[in-house]
Amino acid sequence: MPGARISCVRLAINSKFLLANFVFSVIILFTSYRMDSKKIRKSIGRFFGWIGLIFSSLIIKVIPERCVYSFAKNAARLGFIIASKQRKIALESLTIAFEREKSKAQIQQIAKDCFIFMAKSGLEIIFFMDKPKLFKKRVEFVGKENLEAALAKGKGVILVSAHFGNFPLLMACLSLEGYKTAGIMRYMRDVRAEKFFMAKRIKLGIKTIYNQPRRLCVETALKTLRNNELVFIPMDQNFGTGGVFVDFFGKKAATATGPVVLALRTKATIIPSFIVRQKDDRHKIIFEEPLNLEEGKTYQETVAINIQRLTNIIESYIRKYPAEWGWVHRRWKSRPSLKGGV
């Protein structure tokens, strides 16, 4: 009898142990499945994005110029329906920026127009970058004297901008005008798409400076500026914990400090520059007056003050032309630590 009792106890313990192992294994498998399924969904999404890019590039080659924009509108309307994640991010971002200023209907319309403008810009890149003489006729420069005066100083020029309007077209036009132009960019998540657009940039003479690895990025940017060339920097995306937190539409946003840091090191001139789409789908490339750096009590304060000033300029353009900005990005994703941020 005692032996039987011991066996029963052992059986109960083993059963509980096996049950616990089974539950633990199920949790691990479920977690792994969710992680793998997330990766699979992303891979599928990028694959279809790539297919869409190839399909669009083939269509663009055979349709006349007058049909490019109507094709873009139809593609954008479809994209607004299908791309639920991007649509959700755009509406959330617009609500953060304009909740107290615009109605839900106005926010919805800006989001739809944003998708249309992004589609137009994408198709313009594919269509016009193989026909440089054609798109040069569709662009007007405003404030070009500010750029010329800055280059005359021989210290290089930092063009601060945003993911606003058809900004790749801005760099392409500058290169075609004879300006040695480089752009600091992130690697695209889809390697195939990155190679596709890299080939376009190389063909147009635009130098790509990738933001990673950081040291190489800084060294290349410094060398480019010291050669009295242009460095284009879009500084409107979430920068995690590596930058400073400044006000953007009344809410703290993590922002890159590169433009000001590079200017302090090289004495290069900072010029805010934007490309704005006109009603007839022509473009104006605007060069604002140079930003003369304000000095703070410390180096960090100097950087923060001037990054805020540049961010204010970017915000003013977005407020004036809200559909021109890429709202499909979580600009306010990173938050300041409890200890506070600049």
Is the CB of residue 111 less than 8 Å from the CB of residue 94? yes
Q: Which residues of 49-66 are buried (b: 16+ CB within 10 A; e: fewer)?
A: beeebeebbebbeeeeee
Specify the long-range contacts of residues 191-198, CB closer than 8 Å, at least 24 apart.
192/50, 193/46, 193/49, 193/50, 193/53, 196/53, 197/125, 197/168
Specify the long-range contacts of residues 41-50, CB closer than 8 Å, at least 24 apart.
42/189, 46/189, 46/190, 46/193, 49/190, 49/193, 50/190, 50/192, 50/193
In one-letter notation, the amino acid at residue 286 is I
- State the residue for tokens 């953060």: 96
Please count the other Cβ atoms lying within 10 Å of the Cβ belonging to residue 34.
Answer: 10
Q: Among candidates 36, 35, 55, which has minimal Cα distance to 47?
A: 55
Can you give the pLDDT at residue 276?
Answer: 98
Q: How far is CA 59 from the centre of its chain?
A: 26
Longest distance between any two alpha carbons in the chain, whole Å: 102
Separation between Cα atoms, residue 108 and residue 91, nearest integer Å: 7
Can you give the pLDDT at residue 21?
Answer: 42
Separation between Cα atoms, residue 199 and residue 105, nearest integer Å: 40
Can you give the pLDDT at residue 22?
Answer: 41
Task: State the Rg of the chain over Cα.
Answer: 25
User: Structural domain boundaries of the chain?
Assistant: 53-127, 133-324
Can you give the pLDDT at residue 48?
Answer: 60
- State the residue for tokens 């001139």: 269
Q: What is the pLDDT along the chain (342 residues), one digit of tens a residue?
A: 444 444 443 434 444 444 444 444 434 434 544 555 656 666 665 666 667 667 667 776 777 877 889 989 998 999 999 999 999 999 999 999 999 999 999 999 999 999 999 999 988 888 877 777 777 888 999 999 999 999 999 999 999 999 999 999 999 999 999 999 999 998 887 888 788 888 889 988 999 999 999 999 999 999 999 999 999 999 999 998 778 999 999 999 999 999 999 999 999 999 999 999 999 999 999 999 999 999 999 999 999 999 999 999 999 999 999 999 999 999 999 988 755 444
3-class secondary structure, 32: helix
Is the CB of residue 135 less than 8 Å from the CB of residue 129? yes
φ, ψ of residue 138 to 5 degrees: the values are -100, 10
